[in-house]
């Protein structure tokens, strides 16, 4: 049996569904577009998801595109919803960039993103000028036999 937690949620438009985990093994739930939207070419847009979610203490809500999002011509940024972003008007917006040369149409009720609750810890910083680990290289250095 998987862990579950009670999460308080508000839908702006009650005719759109609550989030759903579509399979037993799904860790992400889908987010829907609240509106019919036309995203102009080469432009940034924030799609309203219809939801205000009160993220439980000790967690964050990670928002990411669905695997089909890029097929539509949209590049999505990842989003983090903090524990204190849950006022009555704090609707979660999903930010995308239309990289196509023509408009992209998103229909009301279309699944456009997914959310995952992630347990978090906050750091207590301890500054140290002499960290004990060796440098391991830069980007792409692991598994590269020719890296020097």
Name the token pair of 13: 């438009």
Look at residue 2 in the predicted model and tell me its pLDDT.
65
**Mean pLDDT, range 100-115, rounded to an integer:** 97
Contact (Cβ atoms closer than 8 angstroms) between residue 59 and residue 72:
no
Using DSSP's 3-state secondary structure scheme, residue 72 falls into helix
Are residues 119 and 62 in contact, defined by beta-carbon separation less than 8 angstroms? no
DSSP, residue by residue, 67-115: TTTGGGTEEE--EEE-TT--STT---EEEEEE-SSS-EEE-TT-EEEEE
pLDDT in tens, 20-62: 998 989 999 999 999 999 999 999 999 999 999 999 999 999 9
Residue with tokens 């937690």: 5
Q: By the 8 A CB rule, do 53 and 12 touch?
A: no
Distance CA 6, CA 18 (A): 14
Model confidence band, residue 143 (pLDDT cutoffs 50, 70, 90): low
Specify the pLDDT at position 110: 96
Closest of 82, 17, 5 to residue 49, by C-alpha? 17
Domains of the chain in sequence order: 30-119 (2.70.40.10)
Q: What are phi and psi of 70, to 5 degrees?
A: -65, -30
Q: Which helix (H) or strand (E) holds 104?
A: strand 104-106
pTM above 0.75, yes or no: yes
Of 82, 67, 56, nearest in space to 113 by CA: 67
Each residue of 84-95: pLDDT tens digit? 999 989 999 999
pLDDT band at 145 (very low <50, low <70, confident <90, very high): low
Residue located via tokens 């995952």? 116
């Amino acid at each position: 049996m998987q862990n579950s937690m009670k999460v308080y949620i508000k839908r702006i438009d009650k005719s759109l569904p609550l989030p759903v985990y579509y399979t037993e093994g799904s860790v992400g739930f889908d987010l829907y577009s609240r509106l019919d939207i036309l995203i102009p070419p080469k432009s940034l847009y924030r799609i309203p998801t219809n939801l205000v979610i009160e993220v439980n203490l000790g967690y964050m809500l990670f928002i990411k595109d669905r695997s089909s999002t890029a097929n539509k011509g949209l590049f999505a940024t990842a989003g983090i919803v903090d524990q204190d972003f849950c006022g009555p008007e704090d609707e979660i917006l999903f930010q995308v960039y239309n990289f196509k040369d023509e408009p992209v149409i998103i229909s009301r009720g279309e699944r456009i993103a997914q959310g995952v609750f992630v347990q978090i810890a906050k750091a207590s910083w301890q500054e140290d000028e002499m960290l004990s680990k060796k440098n391991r290289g830069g980007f792409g250095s692991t598994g590269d036999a020719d890296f020097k």
